[in-house]
Structure 1
């Protein structure tokens, strides 16, 4: 009798949730909703995993288990393009992606956030991202994606540096160097202007590429490339602290699905997103220090460099880019916050 009652109750919950517009969400027989959350990093120690596990913890606790979160660490896509596609198709509900990737969806303004030397410090990044600039960018993404993407928060991915087969003593040392980075957009334009040759080798194949001399160098933050042991390869041993990007990562939810959720569920998800931002940033900032030490202990060589020549190359490229996409005011707001 109890079993029959639970089945009927479950079916009733499904009906009620469907009536609220959640028919596109994955609803279990007992009426619980399952959310698929994913990032592209495969290391269990990665800050992305820390952030999504915090999101899962808060959502499930606050909903008393009525919302379940299934976290995927590189298991449904190691390329961000795969994750965005799954978000659009409904195969994922929340994904973590870089601003540069979003330009492929036609929202070019987002590429500003990945422009080299846009932010002069971590505090400058915080003032912009956690203030009106972050709010405006979220509105642009939602509007231009026709509500396909809703920004739940902004994570960091550390401070990006150059690493390769040789140290950089000056910007001239980049001439003719093949560099794993984005091959389109403002990032690519910057590296080409330095004389480097952008390469599109995938993240999952980069260790082998550095090991086998397929690519001369790459650029990323300590937690990410050290966890993948890139610094142990012949072409990843020399780290030059260019600090060219205080990185931004977008936590995106399917906008239509979010709007179809009951209001109390929306509030839970937003709270969980806020908690995930705190957890991910703390993990990244801590690991930025720890993994630099680890890299040095394991034989990597770290050197500093005069960044002014790099900044001189980057600024006119960014100025020209924002004119092209009519985002001069947004850029000025960011610069005013320095």
Structure 2
């Protein structure tokens, strides 16, 4: 574990102790002292890194609590859309979920959109240094405070580095003109693709394979472990992959704040230990699968090419500046750019 990860973990534990002091020892435990935790992500493939992360969460939480915590892991079975999972977490129908920054903005915490900006991070090392350091700590505090205790951020996961894949390779930005692309259809991400010349189109993740197969969209963007597991690369509108590397993705591991606060200190510490372990397991799975699934795509007929990213990065910078100003995150953006 890096020093920065230890620092974030220490900060979270300190936050928990303050909550306990304020709220006392209210507990939602059953009569036998056991509790069930519903943990969910939106991916249906059992080989997905999300599943590896939540299974590690389950193992550590149950072990650290001496069996007094039971974790039930759901891989897309209680929602394949992140908006569903956020709503279930808020209502108490789920206790631990994994979501992207884009879906968190709908809760009114606009600062989280910072992590969704295209070309914000230069590498995995840059990303880890940021989220495991002071910026990550500040974002966790913002989420905890602004959600009125509905959400507590207990870890930063990755969903890989996202690339374009579509009906033709990209040799320059001009090749995107008029191209329908499955991506976010509002916000900074949509604005970026529009300015690049593409046409953002809304398609549910679970329906994207069929949409690519039936020409509903001509392209999409995601990381190798995700779109290759869904066989998008086997469609005519997914076989050409251009490594745009436009997003070293951030995912938030969130717990239901109110239920968390009702647990005993021992149970809370077990949850935090499980969250910390899940971060390491999920990231390790992502980094390993990046190369494995790239090779799988090539072996199964996909074509991969690289592109000069400079024009794409230059297009992103003024959008980053404006977005950071709009959401009140200019200082955080400056910190990220200055972090090495």
Band of TM-score, shorter chain: over 0.9
- 1:147 matched to 2:149? The reply is yes
> How is 1:64-75 mapped onto 2 (pairs within 5 angstroms)?
64-75=66-77
Q: Secondary structure of 2:322's match?
A: helix
**Aligned match of 1:15:** none
For 2:327 and 2:285, the matched residues in 1 are separated by 34
Give TM-score scaled by structure 2 length. Answer: 0.92
Whichever of the two has the greater Rg, that structure is 1
Query: In the alignment, which residue of structure 2 is the partner of 1:170?
Result: 172
Partner of 2:283: 281
| Distance in structure 1 (CA, Å) of the matches to 2:203 and 2:135 | 32
Q: Which residue of 1 aligns with 2:48?
A: 46
1:334 shift after superposition: 0.3
- Do the aligned residues in 2 keep the contact of 1:28 with 1:34 (CA within 8 Å)? no
CA distance in 1, matches of 2:261, 2:103: 24
Cα offset, 1:184, TM superposition: 1.2
Q: Please list the CA deviations of residues 263-291 of structure 1 after superposition, one character each: whole Å capped at 9, or x if unmatched.
A: 11111110110000000000000000000
Partner of 2:8: none
Is the contact made by 1:32 and 1:66 (CA closer than 8 Å) also made in structure 2? yes
Post-superposition CA distance 1:58-93 (Å, at most 9, x none): 011111111000000000000000000000000000
Partner of residue 65, structure 2: 63
Unaligned runs of 5+ in 2: 1-23
| Corresponding residue to 2:104 among 86, 102, 105 | 102
Cα distance in 1 between the residues matched to 2:33 and 2:264: 13
CA distance in 2, matches of 1:59, 1:332: 37
In 1, the alpha carbon distance for the partners of 2:203 and 2:328 equals 31
Q: Which runs of 5+ in 1 are unaligned?
A: 1-18
What is the distance in 1 between the residues matched to 2:291 and 2:198?
A: 28
State the Cα deviation string for residues 211-243 of structure 1 (Å, max 9, x = none): 000001000000000000000001000000000
1:33–1:67 Cα contact (<8 Å) kept: yes
Cα distance, 1:29 vs structure 2: 5.3
TM-aligned CA deviation for residue 28 of structure 1: 4.7
The counterpart of 1:230, out of the listed 229, 232, 235, is 232
Q: Secondary structure at the match of 2:79?
A: coil
Task: Indicate which of 85, 88, 91 corresponds to 2:87.
Answer: 85
TM-score scaled by length of structure 1: 0.92
> 1:304-334 CA deviation, whole Å, 9 max, x = no partner?
0000110111110110111112211010000
Distance 1:105 1:79 in 2: 15
Which residue pairs with 2:334 in the alignment? Answer: 332
Contact 1:152 1:252 (C-alpha < 8 Å) held by counterparts: yes
